[in-house]
Structure 1
Amino acid sequence: MKITLHEISKAFGGRDIFTNFSLDIESGMHLCVCGPNGMGKSTLLRLIAGIEVPDSGRVLIPSGTRLGYVEQELTPEAQQTPLLTYVLDVVHDWNEFWLEWEQATRDKDEARIKQLMHRQSELEASFGYNPEQRAKTVLSGLGFSQEKWNKPLGELSGGWRERAKLARILTAGADILLLDEPTNHLDIDAVEWLEDFLKNFQGVLVFVAHDRVFMDHVSSHVLYLGGSKPLFRKATYSQFLKLQEEYEVQRDRERKALQDDLQKKMAFVDRFRYKATKARQAGSRLKQVKKLEKELEGYRPEPKRKELRFSWPQPPHAEKLIFHAIDLEFHFPDGKRMWPRLNFSVYNGQRVAFVGHNGCGKSTLIKLLAERLAPTGGILQHSTSARVGYYAQHQMELLRPDMTVLAQMRNMSDPHTTEEELMSVLGLFLLGQNFFDRLIGNLSGGEKCRLVLASLFLKRCNLLLLDEPTNHLDLESREALASALKHYEGTLVMVAHDRWLLSETGCEIWALDEEGIHNYASFAEYDEIHHAQQAAQETPAQAQPQATQQAQVREDKNAASRTGLSRDEVKRLRREQAEARNALHKKLKPLKEQYARLEKELDAAMTEEQETEQKLADPDTYADKALSTKLLARYEELKGVCEDLLVRLDSLEQEIAAAEKEAGK
């Protein structure tokens, strides 16, 4: 199986994105498509997915190939669908398979049974024997708690909905995965789980990413878009950079050698072209010169990657103590508390990065530091000498749509900033000369975010508070940002999930969880300790490398042959195994359905019992004798119902366990 791009061309707005571009993406290849924003990375994915059509050329994919591509928008129907149901909707219905199996068995249709056995292997390879468990594993890996599994998608935040769409694609068991910036909206733990999942993926993977660590861990090949022509290499991203540097050095040597040869031949032509005795030789040299000139055209150097040419203004003097928190608390209106009471201090020049799973309160804490939120308990002291530069995604709403980019930048910057500094920093964040006169209202969301971030470079701040500053930045801009932050002399506090940025900027890591803040001297220390803790918590089965379903199926096929059985005996054995699984499925299905129904009844009864108990605890209830008598009777009835349901559930658990144990003999 492979994807063939044959001489495809695609243009947008008069600009050529691809011109007669060809590439074979082979089975097992993990292709990282990278390069500056606007170079056609997402367009390439949409061309492969068939969402867009090339202006010329063809995209060839074998028929019957299952392709996974994250949909852009959720339908109104999907918004109302519970998360787990939405993810499982794409998985093959095993019940349909077993109905076909039963029919073929009744008809004693050997040919059909043989086809179904082959189909069973394919289904197990793609979805596993228990697709619901596969879906739950993916959801857990991407950070969904069990309480979210039955929530309608419409009740989830935008970031969690994006995760849900990714979970659906990963569960579906596609032959080809097309992922456009899959690490967006993921915390560090979820990104690392996704890395492991994709490293074990045996099909074709084509992905766009700006996370350097993720790219290195997952990619086997790189396609770079952004030079004079697409560059394809068998390498991780870091290897690609090194290879490309060596390649450019070699090409530069060859270019200079060609130039020297051309100059010598041209000098001969100029000297002898008008001498009769040398005219013929001069003409021959002139032909060689023209050939060399044409050859030199192919040696034009690639555009240099952007380099940061910016130095921070000297930050104004700040007091030694920037923040001091004593028993700091924050509660939401519904009473939910973010963390236990926090006690910490941040000093002048300190560099701190908050990490933790999504929803642990990182952004809330940085908003408290920026005084965008007020604590609901405890004390948070701010330095009076701090001049704050605050960055968060929502700040694009503060931009004026009727202003030009250059005017808005001037308006947000320090009054002493020169025009040259304004233009330099705008260019650094991909808002170069062609953006200067563009109205803010005509910018995309990502361009607006980059404009707000760029403005911080030109404020004379001694305290930077950054909430996810790498969102919407391509690799080169991330590198520029990391370099700038590395050389910043003020106090830095940020929320970030980009592991490369966390390492490059030399921040202390403050990990937030339900217990509070855990301090680490560096990201390397956090990473080492965090992984050791995770490994210690895993069961031996979980700690083993997760074999792919395909490998398990191959092992099952080879097991019989290793015993020395004949081909007929192998067929009989496999049929008996399939029939046993069929029988187990038929036996367990009604038991598990009954168990789920009783669990639901128990939840409802326990909830009503708790509510009734609360009413009985209220002295006012007893002012109405009839009501209190009725409630007491109902309370006793509910206690009996709950006890009965627990007994029935326990009995069912034992019955299910016994059936599974019997099947495993």
Structure 2
Amino acid sequence: MIRLDSISKQYAGQILFVDASFALFRGDKVGLIGPNGCGKSTIFRLILKQEDPDSGQVAVERNITIGHFGQDVGEMKGTTVVGATLDGAGPISEVASKLRDLEHKLGDPAHADDMERLIEEFGEVQARFEELGGYALDARAREILAGLGFAQEVMDADVGTLSGGWKMRVALARILLMRPDAMLLDEPTNHLDIESILWLEQFLKNYDGALMLTSHDREFMNRIVTKIAEIDGGELTMFSGDYEFYVKQRAVLDAQAESQFERQKAMLAKEEAFIARFKARASHAAQVQSRVKKLEKIEKIEPPRKRKKLTFNFAATTRSGDDVANLEGIKKSYGSKTIYNGLDLLVRRGERWCVMGANGAGKSTLLKLVAGATTADEGRVNIPPSVKMGYFAQHAMELLNATDTVWESLVSRFPHASIGSLRTLAGVFGFSGDDVEKPCRILSGGEKARLVLAQMLYDPPNFLVLDEPTNHLDLGTKEMLIEALSEYQGTMLFVSHDRHVLRAISNRVLELTPEGIHKYGGGYTEYVEQTGREAPGMRE
């Protein structure tokens, strides 16, 4: 369906691809991976003909439809959520839009004089809408929106009132409704909760077209993709299998490349030592000359690229008392909606509670109550003086000084720290070289998240309260943070939609449901085993 033949591409001297080839066939489900800036989005733009390669060619089979989901959703307003979803459904969307416009005019007294013509036109357009399967499409759109977490009443509300994250879901729903021959999905799970991710997994498993996606959610990729396309150092390499298979295979290939390089290096050293030792002896002239010619013909193996792995180790922190946070009789409401009524929770030292619940269950609100970012209507939250808390929330990224550079943000936060330690901190969280001179105002969501986490973890608290800490992180930084948190000696209360994170660091589960709260003594893995579901309200 789609072929990239011997393409090369560079930007401002940075080489992305050199003579790279790739083919995407119907039924393929490919995970596109590589470090930030390696060219993943460029691959999408080349396929969509938004850019041309410097050399080589991109061939797309005639008459196939391609749906592309990116992180820029554009303007959405002036219609309902369902209407905005239908707008992405191809030719039928134009008929649906015309039908909605006529419905509006028929109900507008200003068009009373033109009512007869409008009724006639409405009948014609409605007939065409039925002919194209429009009403079935409306039902499908609502089914997809429900799967992505929209309540029925929200579907008929103004799309312009939605937050950016929910508009992203509408943009994704458009592509899914379209059911194109090929889908290019750039981080489709970024703004989804775990229930919506599980629904999307099932949808994509049943999709019979060609799929290429990028994702920082390794569990999601493992369940969807059957191939991995790796971009690294200008090369595009294909692996058959899921992400876990790729990780193992990549380790094997790296070890083989290192072994081959070392063997050749040892052989060359041995030959060069012989030449150096005997080159002045006439009796060995023929042997020396033979070995010199042999070395000239050998194709030198390039030193294997060292794959940079980020590591972070928590500094020692003060020990808290046994009781870290105690919530008693908590009642919290927003308007007429009661979130909790009589919630009790005791968090003890060393516990790592992951908080689970459907949208609106109060996960983030619970973290805000513990962190003191909001107050309860009734009941009390007690945090003992021995507890030093670190709170990460999405709004924390908005508190960065826009005019400060990354380096200035770190120095102002830790004025007495050594330059060396701050340089190391910046590097660990992905800011090396000129990256530290970036102003905060131009940082991506992932870069802002990394900077806020770096500030919080440099002088580590003994109680971490984390709301989606890995939401915008790339795979490398996420793995680093998971490893660090696995070794962390303090206490944690956190929310995450990433099942790899949940499995790796939780040892307690707090489930918020409409029927009340449920506590589980094991971590997320044990929770799934005990309940038979991966998220509240869902079953395997």
TM-score, normalization by structure 1: 0.70
Aligned to 1:360: 361
Aligned to 2:300: 295
Q: Distance in 2 between matches of 1:157 and 1:440?
A: 22
Q: Distance in 2 between matches of 1:448 and 1:513?
A: 32
Opposite residue 67 of structure 1, the aligned amino acid is I
Q: Distance in 1 between matches of 2:230 and 2:392?
A: 30
Q: Distance in 2 between matches of 1:205 and 1:22?
A: 17
Any conservation in 1 of the 2:80–2:157 contact (CA below 8 Å)? yes
Aligned to 2:176: 170
Per-residue Cα deviation, 1:404-448 (whole angstroms, up to 9, x for no partner): 3223213324x6644333222221211123223343344333312
1:185 aligns with 2:184: no
Aligned to 2:101: none
Change (3 A) 1:232 1:94: closer
Change (3 A) 1:193 1:432: same
Per-residue Cα deviation, 1:123-165 (whole angstroms, up to 9, x for no partner): xxx9999333332222222111211211121122221111111
Opposite residue 322 of structure 1, the aligned amino acid is V
Q: Distance in 2 between matches of 1:229 and 1:193?
A: 34
Aligned to 1:574: none
Deviation at 1:96, TM superposition (A): 12
Change (3 A) 1:89 1:95: closer
Per-residue Cα deviation, 1:214-270 (whole angstroms, up to 9, x for no partner): 111111111122346333211211101111111222222322332233233333433
Q: Distance in 2 between matches of 1:397 and 1:55?
A: 39
Matches within 5 A, 1:39-54: 39-54=38-53
Matches within 5 A, 1:120-131: 130-131=136-137
Any conservation in 2 of the 1:41–1:225 contact (CA below 8 Å)? yes
1:8 aligns with 2:7: yes
Any conservation in 2 of the 1:425–1:457 contact (CA below 8 Å)? no
Change (3 A) 1:409 1:226: farther
Deviation at 1:380, TM superposition (A): 1.8
Aligned to 1:28: 27
Q: Distance in 2 between matches of 1:361 and 1:186?
A: 16
Tell me which structure has the larger Cα radius of gyration.
1
Aligned to 1:91: 89
Q: Distance in 1 between matches of 2:352 and 2:360?
A: 23
Q: Secondary structure at the match of 1:452?
A: helix
> Which has the larger displacement, 153-162 or 395-404?
395-404
Opposite residue 341 of structure 1, the aligned amino acid is G
Any conservation in 2 of the 1:186–1:358 contact (CA below 8 Å)? no
Q: Distance in 2 between matches of 1:535 and 1:363?
A: 16
1:68 aligns with 2:73: no
Per-residue Cα deviation, 1:584-604 (whole angstroms, up to 9, x for no partner): xxxxxxxxxxxxxxxxxxxxx
Aligned to 1:312: 314
Aligned to 1:329: 331
Any conservation in 1 of the 2:69–2:188 contact (CA below 8 Å)? no
Opposite residue 411 of structure 1, the aligned amino acid is S
Q: Secondary structure at the match of 1:338?
A: strand
Opposite residue 319 of structure 2, the aligned amino acid is H
Q: Distance in 2 between matches of 1:386 and 1:236?
A: 42
Q: Distance in 1 between matches of 2:534 and 2:136?
A: 29
What's the C-alpha RMSD, in Å, of the aligned pairs? 2.8
1:245 aligns with 2:251: yes
Change (3 A) 1:206 1:96: closer
For residue 82 of structure 1, the aligned residue among 80, 83, 95 is 80
Deviation at 1:40, TM superposition (A): 1.6
Q: Distance in 1 between matches of 2:44 and 2:135?
A: 31
Matches within 5 A, 1:636-651: none
Opposite residue 88 of structure 1, the aligned amino acid is L
Q: Secondary structure at the match of 2:235?
A: coil
Aligned to 1:637: none
Aligned to 2:407: 406
Q: Distance in 2 between matches of 1:209 and 1:537?
A: 23
Matches within 5 A, 1:548-627: none
Change (3 A) 1:133 1:291: farther
Any conservation in 1 of the 2:33–2:214 contact (CA below 8 Å)? yes
Change (3 A) 1:174 1:69: same
1:447 aligns with 2:450: no
Any conservation in 2 of the 1:331–1:338 contact (CA below 8 Å)? yes
Any conservation in 2 of the 1:339–1:514 contact (CA below 8 Å)? no
Any conservation in 2 of the 1:187–1:356 contact (CA below 8 Å)? no
Q: Distance in 2 between matches of 1:399 and 1:83?
A: 33
Q: Secondary structure at the match of 1:500?
A: helix
Any conservation in 2 of the 1:45–1:178 contact (CA below 8 Å)? yes
Aligned to 1:485: 485
**Greater RCO (Cα-Cα under 8 Å, separation 6 or more):** 2
Aligned to 2:272: 266
The structure whose residues are more often helix, as a share, is 1
Any conservation in 1 of the 2:195–2:538 contact (CA below 8 Å)? no
Change (3 A) 1:528 1:164: farther
Aligned to 1:525: 526
Any conservation in 2 of the 1:33–1:206 contact (CA below 8 Å)? yes
Q: Secondary structure at the match of 1:330?
A: strand
Deviation at 1:534, TM superposition (A): 8.8
Q: Distance in 2 between matches of 1:128 and 1:253?
A: 61
Matches within 5 A, 1:110-509: 130-227=136-233, 229-274=235-280, 278-292=284-298, 294-297=299-302, 300-308=303-311, 310-332=312-334, 334-413=335-414, 417-509=417-509
Q: How many residues align?
A: 503
Q: Distance in 1 between matches of 2:166 and 2:364?
A: 16
Any conservation in 2 of the 1:349–1:489 contact (CA below 8 Å)? yes
Any conservation in 1 of the 2:71–2:168 contact (CA below 8 Å)? no
Q: Secondary structure at the match of 1:323?
A: strand
Q: Distance in 1 between matches of 2:315 and 2:257?
A: 39
Per-residue Cα deviation, 1:524-544 (whole angstroms, up to 9, x for no partner): 122234445999988xxxx9x
TM-score, normalization by structure 2: 0.86
Change (3 A) 1:455 1:226: farther
Q: Distance in 1 between matches of 2:324 and 2:441?
A: 37
Opposite residue 314 of structure 2, the aligned amino acid is W
Q: Distance in 2 between matches of 1:159 and 1:536?
A: 22
Aligned to 1:515: 515
Q: Secondary structure at the match of 1:340?
A: strand
Opposite residue 305 of structure 2, the aligned amino acid is E
Percent identity between matched residues is 36
Deviation at 1:66, TM superposition (A): 0.7
Change (3 A) 1:530 1:192: farther
Any conservation in 1 of the 2:47–2:58 contact (CA below 8 Å)? yes
Opposite residue 455 of structure 1, the aligned amino acid is Q
Change (3 A) 1:502 1:416: farther
Change (3 A) 1:478 1:128: farther
Change (3 A) 1:434 1:342: same
Deviation at 1:482, TM superposition (A): 0.7
Change (3 A) 1:95 1:325: closer
The structure whose residues are more often strand, as a share, is 2
Change (3 A) 1:461 1:94: closer
Any conservation in 2 of the 1:216–1:237 contact (CA below 8 Å)? yes
